[in-house]
Amino acid sequence: MERHYTTTPFGRRPMTLGMMAAQVAARAVDKDATVHKWHVFQHVREARDAVGATDRALAILNALLSFHPDTAFNGDSDLIVFPSNEQLISRANGMSPATLRRHLAVLVQCGLVIRRDSPNGKRFARKGPSGEIEQAYGFDLAPMVVRAQEFKELAEAVVAERRALKLAKERITLCRRDIVKMIATGIDEAIPADWRGFQRAYEGIAGRIPRTAPRQSYDAIAGELEALWLEVQNTLETFVNSHNKNANESHSERHIQNSNPDSNIEIEQSSGKEQEASASAAETDNVRHLPRRELPLGIVLDACPDIVALAKGGEIRTWRDLMAAAATGRAYLGISPSAYQEACEVMGEDQAATVIAAIQQRFEHISSPGGYLRSLTTRARDGKFSVWPMIMALLRAKLEKRKQLL
């Protein structure tokens, strides 16, 4: 007997052109097409906003799919399922009958299923003499085969858009953090620049960041923040480069980069008068005009990242953490406790720890770390040594190396 599939819904539910279009597409399905029903369902779930489905509707669709025994749906398969409302409610986490009816209508409206209503609106299947199903009335899952590729493309587009939105928000977060900290460094260290102007520009951009918005809005704000970040970054780099180019490096810094082992011995054995004679007037003037503030811990760690490996837990958050790592580094470098104790008394514990970090960073270029530290302690006692040129030179070397890699 030839089957007849109804094209209009039972009762007061009206027929729409969308329903007719879904039925036309179902009849035109490729008979050789085969899809994995749960893969298609995953794509529908990813693209639910684009499809127009609700979370409750997807729960019902999941239940409908579970009533079909096959996992692979074929174009020539009978894909009609006919569970009762009670069975659907049970598998759809116990929603009310009114909610079930409302979201079943959503599935039909979205074209995810097709109604195949019986004359009396009941869902059932009529079987033949041999037990095979001759006629079924219920919900046709053919759109899951017909629109499988469409759902996949929609899901891929949604995932790509979600990833792009996440990356845009990450760009904004990173730029905001960098700009705030770089501006704070510029203000704290009295670096000549319009830091208040930078701060006002940042606040103007940050104040326009929406709580929720399309990805394009976040991309535009990220672009503005990156432009400001680049300006602030260039300001700091220009200061670092100009400071190191215009100022003669201190005698101590020349030793930290000197690969000649004999020169370290000469400094350790030289008298205070010989050291004073070798120091130029410009060298003394450079030390006098360096910032009076202590170096920020972040700059020290940026210039001397190797010291972090000696810290407990592999992390340095405070000056106390740096001092503890320096005590370990002192033993690793072969510096005697008395030499390090003297350096702490003359320079202060934080500056002595900074020197140890710098020596650790340039360890392969220093033949006698202990003698080198004693010579720096002597110069610090005479007011002829500051850690600023040492750290700035390391930062400049790091920047130049990065530029070469680019």
Three state DSSP letters for the chain: CCCCCCCCCCCCCCCCHHHHHHHHHHHCCCCCCEEEHHHHHHHHHHCHHHHCCCHHHHHHHHHHHHCCCCCEEECCCCCEECCCHHHHHHHCCCCCHHHHHHHHHHHHHCCCCEEECCCCCCCEEEECCCCCEEEEEEEECCHHHHCHHHHHHHHHHHHHHHHHHHHHHHHHHHHHHHHHHHHHHHHHCCCCCCHHHHHHHHHHHHCCCCCCCCHHHHHHHHHHHHHHHHHHHHHHHHHHHHHHHHCCCCHHHHHHCCCCHHHHHHHHHCCHHHHHHHCCHHHHHHHHCCCCCCCCHHHHHHHCHHHHHHCHHHCCCCHHHHHHHHHHHHHHHCCCHHHHHHHHHHHCHHHHHHHHHHHHHCHHHCCCHHHHHHHHHHHHHCCCCCHHHHHHHHHHHHHHHHHHHC
pLDDT of residue 29: 66
Higher pLDDT, 43 or 21: 43
The single-letter code of the amino acid at 60 is I
Q: Where residue 344 falls among pLDDT bands split at 50, 70, 90?
A: very high
d(C-alpha 122, C-alpha 333), whole Å = 87
Q: What mean pLDDT comes out for the span 265-274?
A: 33
26: confidence class by pLDDT, cuts 50, 70, 90: low
pLDDT in tens, 163-217: 999 999 999 999 999 999 888 888 887 788 888 888 899 999 999 988 888 888 9
Q: What is the pLDDT of residue 269?
A: 33
Which of 210-214, 259-263, 334-338 has the lowest average pLDDT? 259-263
Higher pLDDT, 32 or 390: 390
Mean pLDDT of 232-240: 85
Region 329-352 average pLDDT: 90
User: Which carries the bigger pLDDT value, residue 305 or residue 399?
Assistant: 305
* Portion of the chain with pLDDT greater than 70, in percent: 78
* Residue 284 reports pLDDT greater than 50: no
What pLDDT digit, counting tens, does each position of 114-169 carry?
888 777 778 877 777 776 776 778 888 888 888 888 899 999 999 999 999 999 99
pLDDT at 194: 87
User: Contact 385/275 with Cβ under 8 angstroms?
Assistant: no
- Tell me the two tokens of residue 336: 């005697």
The model carries a pTM of 0.51
Distance separating alpha carbons of residues 237 and 94, to the nearest angstrom: 64
Q: How confident is the model at residue 279 (pLDDT cuts 50, 70, 90)?
A: very low
**pLDDT computed for residue 260 by the predictor:** 41
* Residue 249 confidence (pLDDT): 45
Q: What is the pLDDT of residue 248?
A: 42
Confidence check: pLDDT of 43 > 60:
yes
Q: Is the pLDDT of residue 228 over 50?
A: yes
The pLDDT score that the predictor gives to residue 400 is 78
